[in-house]
Structure 1
Amino acid sequence: MKNSDGHWLLRQRTEDVYATEVAEAVVADDRLTLYSAVQHVASRDSTIDSALLTVECSSPAEGVISVRTTHHAGSLPRGPEFALAERPDHAAKTRRDGAVVELSSGSLELRVDTSGPWRLEFSADGRRLTTAEGLGTGFTLVGGERHYSVAQLSLGVGELVYGLGERFTPFTRNGQTVEVWQADGGTATDQAYKNVPFYLTNRGYGVFVNHPGQVRYEVGSQDVGQVRFSVADQSLEYLVIHGPTPKEILDRYTALTGRPALPPAWSFGLWLSTSFTTDYDEATVTRFVRGMAERDIPLGVFHFDCFWMKAYQWCDFTWDPDVFPDPEGMLGRLREQGLRISVWINPYIGQKSPLFAEAMRAGYLVRRPNGDVWQWDMWQAGMGLVDFTNPDAREWFAGKLRALTDQGVDAFKTDFGERVPTDVVWHDGSDPERMHNYYTQLYNQVVFDVLAEARGADEAVLFARCATAGGQQFPVHWGGDCDSTFSAMAESLRGGLSLGLSGFGFWSHDIGGFQNTPHRAVFKRWVQFGLLSSHSRLHGAGTYRVPWDYGDEAVEVTRDFTRLKHRLMPYLYRAAQQAAAHGTPMMRAMVLEFPDDPACGTLDRQYMLGGDLLVAPVFSEDGTVEYYLPAGTWTHLLTGRQVEGPGWRRERYGFESLPLFARPGSVVPFGDRDDSPVYDWADGVTLRVHAPADGETVVTHVPGRWDDGAGDFDTHRVGDTVTVRARNAPGSWRAVLAGPDGYGAPVAAVDGVVTLTLPR
């Protein structure tokens, strides 16, 4: 909340009250409690007619320190709350040295000098991270009534801020005002579908505001050297999370808020949608599926968007009999072709739906304070909203989905869930303002749990649009409604990279763009980008996204990059495992992999796919692209061409290619099949070795689809000789070395060893 008028004045009708000094410090074994006066206490008279802030400092996990500031403590508990996985076996340490009190958690330390002006100083390994001083702890009264708890943390010179969810505005948050408030605003505004009150910086720490409702941020926009955040509450808690690397920050953050589930292998294949408002029936679906097969484009998932149900009746979870008279038979025929099935749903019940009256009678819809069902006509005529705080409503909704999984549905696209009213009463008494953002968590969890129950925990996958902190547990998420232009493609990428830096491991987008019909060049370039993303879906609004509608070359590009993604599955699935284990996203902003390279701090038109592949999508009709390579010898994965970094390059690419480079020293496993993402990845694998460093060993793990199918390989260079040795391998395998003239000939393993010679 921006309440200043320049540096010296406040906006009218605002009153700011801030911690000034420590009146008393209570030191326990594992926590500090600071009682802060809001004015200098010169005598006992100064303690009268004045506020006193209670600041509780503790540690829920190693490397994490929590600061909770409370003004008036008499408010009743108001849900919902984020579920944080605290470590009961972890214990922070405290120390008092004269007037100085300290709380330490791992290498992270909070230091407070109680004899001086108010100042909380966070440091790690002897280096200061950030401070809260001056205007850093307090509250603001607006109009004499509205109460906001406020905190402010300093930014150092050159410090860059990232995250706060999937945001499509400039990649670094510095200079921006950000409202963490769910909105259905497309990808071309400052609104966001996925709002997460967590940011990290390039100085080795992150900050999570533990409040599920609206959080307002001024990121260097009220005071250019501060991040200020506020909530409309009597209390505010934030957690400082130490890294020092960005990956370690995400590891600790997702350990608290939840790790991403590991999506099933089949979900990494190509998804094809009916699109949004297009006309379609079983004949259309059959034509699309047959058309992909005839053009030799492997298809993994077919998605039915909203008009699988009858108009005005969303959601009734019933196939429109006029266009799908035999849904069970149709789904069976699709599954016989090896396809998985996804269908679109949302948490709204239109008044014409037979389920509206049923849900209203049972009390399953959100109500207004007078007891009426909350309704409006935006989206669906007279629609109501399912009250997921009601356990019976959750079970009722889940039952409708179980009927679909019984028919053969494998995944649900959980659309909408952002426009949640605040003038309502929830079944469990939750605060409407806090529930507005949190609703998505309940919605997606209900649907995810149904799939886990029906298909098994390792088979559950969503295609979700809305999320908040913790939502990363229910992948996959996609970027929402974008236009079909190069600009929209770039803003989508910014949003995905921002979401990855907010703890989300898996992300997708509408290939070709959603609104309008893409130019053929846009479609082909978006296909490349989409098939070098975590998950890949062809989807649009009023026109189809089948490749042949965009020309023969579009068919070739779709075929080639789909098959490339399938061959990369041994590499991609390992990156997916890392996301599930540590919260490191599959699509990684350059700063995540190269935090010590200053040039990578602001890059948002390229990314690392996993730890070893650099992707720079082409955002121009003529194929011109600018990209940056960090230090070392990089190898173009499609041609074997080697390029030296660091430095910027400006090149032109045809539609058969784009900047796709293997990292210096990397060993990238290529699978033996390209017709499906699901096969025994280790059997027949080819290890591509790129510019290995002399004297170093690279360990490559190739995951297996079955418990005994994994392979582990050591690649070691001594002088001109590179030796690749299998520690275990379930079948045949090969290795190939990149050199100045491209990739050499693959060499088959003999007795579990391949020896390669560097060209002179």
Structure 2
Amino acid sequence: MKKKNHLQYLGGIACFLVFVSTSVLAQNAGRIVQTIQQQPDSLRVVTNDGEYQFRPYSAQIVETSFIPRGQQMSVPVSHAVVLQPEKIPALLKKMADGVDYQAGDMTVHIQEHPFQISYRYKNRLLFSEKQGYSKIATGERLDFNLTSDEVLYGAGARALGMNRRGYRLPLYNKAHYGYEEHSEQMNFSIPLVLSSRMYGIHFDNAAIGFLDLDSQKDNTLAYETIGGRKVYQVIAGDSWEQLSAGYVNLTGHQPLPPRWAFGNFASRFGYHSEAEARAVIARFQAEQIPVDAIIFDLYWFGKEIKGTLGNLTFDPDNFPQPEKMISDFRQQGIKTILITEPFILTTSGRWKEAVDEKILATDQQGKPFTYDFYFGHTGLIDLLDPHARDWFWNVYKTLKAKGVTGWWGDLGEPEVHPAALQHKNGSADEVHNIYGHEWAKLIAEGYARDFPQERPFILMRAGYSGSQRYGMIPWSGDVNRSWGGLRSQPEIALQMGMQGMAYMHSDLGGFAGPNLDDELYARWLQYGVFQPVFRPHAQEEVASEPVFRADSVKALAKAAIELRYRLLPYNYTLAFDNHETGLPLMRPLFFAEPGNSALSTVADSYLWGSEFLVHPVLQAGQQQAEIYFPGDRNWFDFYSGEVHAAGSSAKVKIVADHIPVFVRAGAFIPMAKPIQNTRQYSGSEFDLHYFHDASVAHASGKLFDDDGETADSVAQQKYAVIYFQSEFARGTLHLQLSCTTGKNYPSRDRKTAITIHRIHTRPVQVIAGNTPLAFDWNASTGELKIMLAWKDQERPEISVKLSD
């Protein structure tokens, strides 16, 4: 082997010249480097206790794998990572105290004595190992140095406050019924840590364990596991947008949900009969409250809560004509979604079939493992067994043939998962955290194989790193129907959006407990307008559907739902951006001001896309709110038009009709005409609102359009992106619209009603090209309205002359 690619270490160099900021006191002096060897696509480092391999995945991502001496890579294939390593030119450079392995913007420094690994991004130190690898009583551990001031995010869905530093968090998906403002263990325990220093560490191992985020207050981050892979990826970037993109590139992009998923859902626990379900939808229609889907909880297959899980077929007494019911709903634009669970009770109609087909997880002797939990005596479908997966998928195919459109996967942690239970390729504890992930994968791959033109809707409450790539729509579990339950929701959604799961949402109104609080209900639904999925759902003692609430709160709920539908083009474009770039729909304020440490723990205000600032009302009887306005552009009250300067704070009055919402200067907001169902929407006719401000010389926006249902519409070239541009100079505002279409997108002309806000004097002239346009200007509101009809290939330009 050529000398330049191979360094043999027989002794140590005592110098420590490079990383003077990193303490050496905790380093494991017993770990010794033996050889360092550069390979074509990686760096191999052999120590006295094992072997490291450092592999660049991109210019901003490097993977570290460690195999302890005497072990082998127990799971050679990652459940999370889908990115194929790029061919990144790498340089191995000898340093005074070891070597630098530089690939792209990432540098791994191997300090020889005492042995230590450090990571840099563009020559900026990110972090370093502390003890590194060690064996502990409960398994194995990797630990790292933290700076004293960095804020830590991640670890899945928790209710802890935005800064999760100071906790030792279990990596074990587990439901928390009736939680409120504090929950250290919930349904998504993703092994990912994100730092305010703009890096992330993803621990690529499904086995259960802990993430210790400096619980001992000694500046230590530690990953603990019962076993499995000692593999982690380091991701870095110059912005939160880059960091989000890096992680999603690594673990997979979320497919576009069907457009109807951005509408309103009728849902409760639960609809007991076909007659009841029909009456609910009829009530929505009579009240003229928009709705797009109805969700059936477990009464669709059983008359009782207990003893029926696993039937997985419509109860013939209460649902005598399910196919006709579903067909009738479809004709009205209403999609049918069914709950399914992975448990087959011994009292269910399919127990014998499950045993005979050998689809259940087993005991050590290979017999079905049965146990008691809330719903009865049960077995568990082994979703790690290909045969069991085929069996379960055939259940879905049969139901889909009846017209079912969407799937709700419940109890998928699994809710009770005894450690002694055995799966096809591992124990319960080894695969527990990927069970929901594999469930979503089963449905997604089934659709891709058998219904390749359709987008699945997959609502689930448990998953793992990368579950977004299967189209999983996560929700935050059985939150208490209380103000404390509401207060935790923005944090959970923001954190999960940063971890790739951009559609995290809550049971609007709260789920657990018979609490009738009209103010809470209205505020929760008003918040729901500006979060990914609008789905009121609750235990049936208090109605979750707005049509059954008091007239005053029903009116507030109706207004919120109508606004949700008006925002469909904007929201669907956010979904497109997420699909393309990994950007979450809900974003913390520090996305707009990453250098502002005061924003690092803020969750009571957030960004909806880049153009809206939202401040949910989270306290009963709240009269005013202190709100900070981030970024470098002014903000306007979405309802009153009041101006707030970028970088300022203000006390804002709280009103009953809506929560505080602000729109950014220079924002283009495409909106739909009033509709009762998303199938009534067409991208051929939309409203466009532009929020003018003299300080904004240039601005841009867009609208994404497709048929709302074809899978991979972008890849199939069945889409259009309508671009909006503005320029303001010398007293004249110029607007330009243009459209880029895929080759298989049908040609269409468009009608656009343009409203330009904050035009305080009557325009001297409005022209399109050289043709004067009729316009309507409202002196009291400052709104300028223009009707524009334009052909498919046109690029209309409008000039608004505001002064001579």
**CA distance 1:121–1:693, shift in 2 (3 Å):** farther
Aligned to 1:557: 556
Q: Identity, % of aligned pairs?
A: 20
SS at 1:494 equivalent: helix
Deviation at 1:162, TM superposition (A): 0.9
Aligned to 1:247: 241
Aligned to 2:671: 670
Matched, 1:731 2:750: yes
Task: Report if the CA contact (8 A) 2:205-2:228 is conserved.
Answer: no
**CA distance 1:326–1:588, shift in 2 (3 Å):** same
Q: What is the CA RMSD across the aligned residues, in angstroms?
A: 2.5
**CA distance 1:19–1:538, shift in 2 (3 Å):** farther
For each residue in 1:378-407, what CA deviation from the matched residue of structure 2 results, as whole angstroms up to 9, or x when unmatched? 132111100112212111111111111111
In 1, the alpha carbon distance for the partners of 2:84 and 2:719 equals 33
**CA distance 1:155–1:355, shift in 2 (3 Å):** same
Deviation at 1:234, TM superposition (A): 7.0
Q: What letter corresponds to residue 331 of structure 1 in structure 2? A: I
TM-score for both structures, normalised by structure 2: 0.85
In 2, the alpha carbon distance for the partners of 1:57 and 1:708 equals 40
In 2, the alpha carbon distance for the partners of 1:126 and 1:411 equals 48
Deviation at 1:641, TM superposition (A): 2.4
Task: Report if the CA contact (8 A) 2:666-2:700 is conserved.
Answer: no
Alignment of 1:253-652 (within 5 A): 253-273=247-267, 275-276=268-269, 278=270, 280-310=272-302, 311=304, 312-418=307-413, 419=415, 420-427=417-424, 429-452=425-448, 456-473=452-469, 474-516=471-513, 517-543=515-541, 544-624=543-623, 625-631=625-631, 632-652=633-653
Aligned to 2:58: 61
**CA distance 1:451–1:315, shift in 2 (3 Å):** farther
In 2, the alpha carbon distance for the partners of 1:548 and 1:293 equals 10
Deviation at 1:520, TM superposition (A): 0.6
In 2, the alpha carbon distance for the partners of 1:562 and 1:505 equals 21
Q: What letter corresponds to residue 738 of structure 2 in structure 1? A: R
Which of 161, 166, 172 is the equivalent residue of 1:181? 172
Task: Report if the CA contact (8 A) 2:28-2:114 is conserved.
Answer: no
How many residue pairs match? The answer is 722
In 2, the alpha carbon distance for the partners of 1:460 and 1:58 equals 35
Aligned to 2:725: 714
Task: Report if the CA contact (8 A) 1:30-1:94 is conserved.
Answer: no
Which of 33, 38, 50 is the equivalent residue of 1:27? 38
Deviation at 1:614, TM superposition (A): 1.3
Deviation at 1:253, TM superposition (A): 1.3
SS at 1:178 equivalent: strand
User: Which stretch has the larger CA shift, 674-683 or 203-212?
Assistant: 674-683
Deviation at 1:305, TM superposition (A): 0.8
In 2, the alpha carbon distance for the partners of 1:559 and 1:456 equals 36
Task: Report if the CA contact (8 A) 2:205-2:229 is conserved.
Answer: no
Q: What letter corresponds to residue 675 of structure 1 in structure 2? A: Q
Task: Report if the CA contact (8 A) 1:699-1:712 is conserved.
Answer: yes
SS at 1:528 equivalent: helix
SS at 1:193 equivalent: coil
Deviation at 1:77, TM superposition (A): 2.7
Task: Report if the CA contact (8 A) 2:162-2:600 is conserved.
Answer: no
Alignment of 1:666-705 (within 5 A): 666-679=667-680, 681-692=682-693, 694=695, 696-705=697-706
Q: What letter corresponds to residue 728 of structure 2 in structure 1? A: R
Aligned to 2:116: 119
Deviation at 1:455, TM superposition (A): 5.2
For each residue in 1:70-127, what CA deviation from the matched residue of structure 2 results, as whole angstroms up to 9, or x when unmatched? 323434735884142243542350312255322223211112232x422322112222
Deviation at 1:416, TM superposition (A): 0.9
Aligned to 1:108: 106
Task: Report if the CA contact (8 A) 1:398-1:450 is conserved.
Answer: yes
Aligned to 2:784: 745
**CA distance 1:210–1:709, shift in 2 (3 Å):** closer
Deviation at 1:368, TM superposition (A): 0.8
In 1, the alpha carbon distance for the partners of 2:538 and 2:696 equals 51
In 1, the alpha carbon distance for the partners of 2:361 and 2:440 equals 17
In 2, the alpha carbon distance for the partners of 1:414 and 1:580 equals 22
Task: Report if the CA contact (8 A) 2:256-2:576 is conserved.
Answer: yes
In 2, the alpha carbon distance for the partners of 1:365 and 1:661 equals 52
User: Which stretch has the larger CA shift, 586-595 or 240-249?
Assistant: 586-595
Q: What letter corresponds to residue 686 of structure 2 in structure 1? A: V
For each residue in 1:186-210, what CA deviation from the matched residue of structure 2 results, as whole angstroms up to 9, or x when unmatched? 3442111011111211212111001
In 1, the alpha carbon distance for the partners of 2:803 and 2:220 equals 53
**CA distance 1:213–1:686, shift in 2 (3 Å):** same
In 2, the alpha carbon distance for the partners of 1:759 and 1:493 equals 44
In 1, the alpha carbon distance for the partners of 2:646 and 2:630 equals 5
In 2, the alpha carbon distance for the partners of 1:426 and 1:593 equals 45
Aligned to 1:237: 231
SS at 1:725 equivalent: strand
Task: Report if the CA contact (8 A) 1:342-1:410 is conserved.
Answer: yes
In 2, the alpha carbon distance for the partners of 1:314 and 1:750 equals 55
Task: Report if the CA contact (8 A) 2:700-2:726 is conserved.
Answer: yes
Task: Report if the CA contact (8 A) 2:266-2:294 is conserved.
Answer: yes
Task: Report if the CA contact (8 A) 1:724-1:735 is conserved.
Answer: no
For each residue in 1:209-232, what CA deviation from the matched residue of structure 2 results, as whole angstroms up to 9, or x when unmatched? 011112312212224422121222
Task: Report if the CA contact (8 A) 1:16-1:140 is conserved.
Answer: no
Matched, 1:36 2:30: no
**CA distance 1:545–1:92, shift in 2 (3 Å):** same
Deviation at 1:601, TM superposition (A): 1.1
In 1, the alpha carbon distance for the partners of 2:694 and 2:109 equals 43
User: Which stretch has the larger CA shift, 337-346 or 666-675?
Assistant: 666-675
For each residue in 1:614-670, what CA deviation from the matched residue of structure 2 results, as whole angstroms up to 9, or x when unmatched? 111111222433432114310122332222232333333222111111123322222
Deviation at 1:21, TM superposition (A): 4.5
In 2, the alpha carbon distance for the partners of 1:455 and 1:490 equals 40
In 2, the alpha carbon distance for the partners of 1:151 and 1:231 equals 9
Gapped regions of structure 1 (runs ≥ 5)? 1-14, 38-51
**CA distance 1:155–1:74, shift in 2 (3 Å):** closer
**CA distance 1:719–1:359, shift in 2 (3 Å):** same
Deviation at 1:576, TM superposition (A): 0.2
In 1, the alpha carbon distance for the partners of 2:190 and 2:336 equals 30
Task: Report if the CA contact (8 A) 1:253-1:503 is conserved.
Answer: yes
**CA distance 1:653–1:54, shift in 2 (3 Å):** same
In 2, the alpha carbon distance for the partners of 1:67 and 1:417 equals 30
In 1, the alpha carbon distance for the partners of 2:803 and 2:355 equals 74
TM-score for both structures, normalised by structure 1: 0.90
Matched, 1:128 2:141: no
Q: What letter corresponds to residue 171 of structure 2 in structure 1? A: V
SS at 1:398 equivalent: helix
Q: What letter corresponds to residue 365 of structure 1 in structure 2? A: L
**CA distance 1:734–1:754, shift in 2 (3 Å):** farther
SS at 1:508 equivalent: coil
Deviation at 1:53, TM superposition (A): 3.4
Aligned to 1:93: 90
Deviation at 1:343, TM superposition (A): 0.9
Aligned to 1:44: none
For each residue in 1:330-358, what CA deviation from the matched residue of structure 2 results, as whole angstroms up to 9, or x when unmatched? 11222222101111111111111121111
**CA distance 1:166–1:668, shift in 2 (3 Å):** same
Q: What letter corresponds to residue 530 of structure 1 in structure 2? A: G
SS at 1:228 equivalent: strand
